Amino acid sequence: MQNFRNYGELPDGAFSDKTSKYCAFRQYKIMAKLQNYFEYANKMQTLLEAARRVELDRTENAPRAARASGKKIVTFAPHPDDEIMTGLLPLRLMLENGWKVVDAAVSLGSKVERRKERKKELANACKYLGWKLEVLGFDKVRPATKKTDPEYWQKCVGDIAGLIAKQNPDAVMAPHPKDANLAHMATSQLVRDALKSLEGKYGGFLIETEVWSDMDKPNVLIEAGAMHLGHLMTALSRHVKEVERNDYHVRMPSSFAENVRRGAEVVGGQGGRAPNFNFGVIYAVKKFDGKKWVPAVGSKFVGLKNCAEEIFKK
């Protein structure tokens, strides 16, 4: 298991030697000179403004997977870019434990005129990360479709079930049922319906994610290091037109830092001590008990000194 907590422990290929040394130098310089919170806020503002000027879709050294373990995770992304927004766990499983990652693109977005371009951007992002891409490309990914067009809904459920059966993964990822975006809520229901149709044939985990609204009862907070964030932001920048209209790729460190603040309470329990993480992502890890999907593990923090697969252990 590789430990990526410190800049000096970044794996070969994460950055060029020059970039890695510069990062370490800048970290030391910032920590040595920071005197008060006004300086902190000012440096944060300066860094954010500088990050906006980084070239999009630039060439970087791709992440290097550990030796293949035979294990696999399929992530069902409602839109192109959601695979990155929730992608810390798949990335860590790939880097540390040799898991194969498959991104299942449930839709290519609601704007028909952008779908061809978004598919290309998505392919570039997955290629950079070393993830396999499966494009489902459904239309009408809305909860209402289950009632207004049940035949099409069942076709989508069948396609998802077929993909799961074909890939035979150890875990699948999908948004939680209340993730406040119509495509996200529909994707959650489609995946659950597909898993129900496979009852007795799929024995893996269901990992629920959040993008637009918080989960009620998550049970895992997993830590991200600077290297993980760098790879995820680089991949997200491949979705060029999306981040041009909204530069959320450079705000990823802020959202990951907020996850640690909130995860300390909603995962660890109110009033508990927060883990010593700078960045993290919250998940709900579930297993089917024969009747419903229930928490597979108790509440846990999975740091960089822990193996990513720890999230599956009780």
What is the band of 32 on the pLDDT scale with cuts at 50, 70, 90? low
Confidence of residue 26 (pLDDT cuts 50, 70, 90): low
Q: Do 281 and 257 meet the contact criterion of CB atoms below 8 Å apart? A: no
- Rounded to whole angstroms, what are the CA distances from 150 to 11, 76, 157? 49, 21, 10
The answer to whether 245 and 271 are in contact (CB under 8 A) is: no
Q: What is the mean pLDDT of residues 213-222?
A: 96
Domain assignment present for 31: yes
What is the model's pLDDT at position 147? 97
Q: Return d(Cα 61, Cα 47) in angstroms, integer.
A: 22
Taking only the tens place, the pLDDT of each residue in 42-94 is: 999 999 999 999 988 777 788 999 999 999 999 999 999 999 999 999 999 99
Please provide residue 272's backbone torsions phi and psi, each rounded to the nearest 5 degrees. Answer: -80, 170
42 and 110 in a common domain: no
Cα distance between residue 203 and residue 205, in whole Å: 7
Amino acid at 17: D
Whether 38 maps to a domain, the answer reads: yes
pTM: predicted TM-score of the whole model, two decimal places? 0.89
Shared domain check, 102 and 22:
no
Mean pLDDT, the chain, integer: 90
Q: Could you tell me if 124 and 57 are in contact, meaning their C-beta atoms sit under 8 angstroms apart?
A: yes
Assess if residue 65 is contained within a domain.
no
How far is the C-alpha of 117 from the C-alpha of 31, rounded, in Å? 42
pLDDT digit string, tens, across residues 92-115:
999 999 999 999 999 999 899 999
- Which candidate, 296, 279, 274, places its Cα nearest to that of 287? 296
Spatial separation of the C-alpha atoms in residues 19 and 3, rounded to whole Å:
19
Q: Is the pLDDT of residue 11 over 60?
A: no
Q: Which residues have a Cβ under 8 Å from the Cβ of 314 and sit 6 or more positions away?
A: 296, 297, 298
**What's the sign of the alpha-carbon dihedral 205, 211, 217, 222?**
positive
pLDDT, residue 57, reads 75
Question: Same domain, yes or no, for 98 and 39?
Answer: no
At 301, which helix (H) or strand (E)?
strand 300-302
224 Rama class: left (phi>0) / alpha (psi -120 to 50) / beta: beta
10 vs 63, more confident: 63
3-state secondary structure of 78: coil
Does one domain contain both 17 and 119?
Answer: no
Beta-carbon contacts of 9 under 8 Å, excluding residues fewer than 6 positions away, are 2, 3
Evaluate if residue 24 carries a pLDDT over 70: no
Domain presence at residue 133: yes
Number of domains in the chain: 2
CATH number of the domain that residue 228 is part of:
3.40.50.10320
Q: What pLDDT score does 301 carry?
A: 97
Average pLDDT over residues 233-258: 95
Say if CB 22 and CB 30 are below 8 A apart: no
Q: 173: Cβ–Cβ under 8 A, 6 or more apart, which residues?
A: 73, 74, 75, 76, 86, 89, 90, 206, 207, 208, 209
Structure tokens at 112: 């028909």
pLDDT in tens, 168-194: 999 999 999 999 999 999 999 999 999
- What is the tally of helices (H) and strands (E) in the chain? 11, 9
Pairwise CA distance, residues 279 & 223, whole Å: 6
Q: Which domain holds residue 28?
A: 12-51
Residues 6+ apart with CB under 8 A from 204: 169, 170, 171, 172
Residue 1 lies in a domain: no
Note whether 21 and 83 are same-domain residues.
no
> Does 16 have pLDDT greater than 90?
no
pLDDT tens-place string over residues 135-169: 999 999 999 999 999 999 999 999 999 999 999 99
Query: What's the distance, CA 274 to chain centroid?
Result: 22
4 lies in some domain: no
